[in-house]
Structure 1
Amino acid sequence: MSDSKEPVSGPLRRLGTSLLTLGRIRLELLAIEAQEEKERVAGLALWAVLAALLAGFGLLMVLLLVVVALWDSYRLLAIGGAAVVLLAAAAVAFAKLKALLAQPTTLFRASIGELCEDADALRRRP
């Protein structure tokens, strides 16, 4: 009787080892994707903040130039126009931010695809 159990335990052990190895590989892929996404988001945030600050300072300097140039004759109109321009730029920025937040994330897309392929491969086997 013990001889009949030996052949069954060998394939089960190999199957278990294979499943553990496959799971480890998929977890490593998930970790790599998470690290890549973290680095991408950090770089994106850094450049977005820098670009926004520089663009904001540039716009502020242009508006200040217009206000100073029109100070003697149209000071209130120049200040009001500058405020409208800044508020319009802020509205555009908020609309773009809302559109970006509405987009679906691509985090773990490759891992999910690999897991789906694994599941399909397991379903095809007899």
Structure 2
Amino acid sequence: MAESTLGLMASLKRLVHTLLAIGQTRLELLSNEWEEERFRISKMFIFGGFTLFFFGLSVLLATVFVVVLFWDTHRLLVIGGFTMLFFGAGFWALNAFRTLSREKPKLFSASLAELSKDRDQLVSRS
């Protein structure tokens, strides 16, 4: 009787140790995914800011150039045309932004897949 109790306790300890190791591994994977996502988003903001600044500056300078070029003949027509062009480009960019924001990858997908595998293995052993 004492040997079966010791064997049961050792088996229970191994089971708890295994479950804790699995949990620790999954938490480390979750933490890595969280850091990767944070890094990716911060890079997107930095490069997005640079992109907006430089493209905005180039569009502004090109507009000023064309307006000055047509200053004596059709300046109001050119300013109105650029206004409509930029307004349309703004709506196009807004639409593209909405589309991209809806297509984001699922957060913690690798962790969820690993947890699903663990659950399937535990169910198959039962």
Shorter-chain TM-score bucket reads over 0.9
Structure 1 unaligned residues grouped into runs of 5+: none
Structure 2 unaligned residues grouped into runs of 5+: none
The correspondence of residues 1-126 of structure 1 with structure 2, limited to 5 A, is: 1-126=1-126
| Cα offsets for 1:11-30 (capped at 9, x unmatched) | 11110111011101100110
Helix, strand or coil at the partner of 1:106: coil
Number of aligned residue pairs: 126
Query: What is the CA–CA distance in structure 2 between the aligned matches of 1:117 and 1:34, rounded to whole Å?
Result: 20
Quote the offset at 1:90 in angstroms: 1.0
Tell me the TM-score normalized by structure 2. 0.92
Quote the offset at 1:2 in angstroms: 4.3
The residue identity in structure 1 corresponding to 2:101 is L
Quote the offset at 1:87 in angstroms: 1.0
Quote the offset at 1:69 in angstroms: 0.8
After the TM superposition, which segments of 4 or more aligned residues of structure 1 sit over 4 Å from their partners?
none
Quote the offset at 1:3 in angstroms: 4.1
Tell me the TM-score normalized by structure 1. 0.92
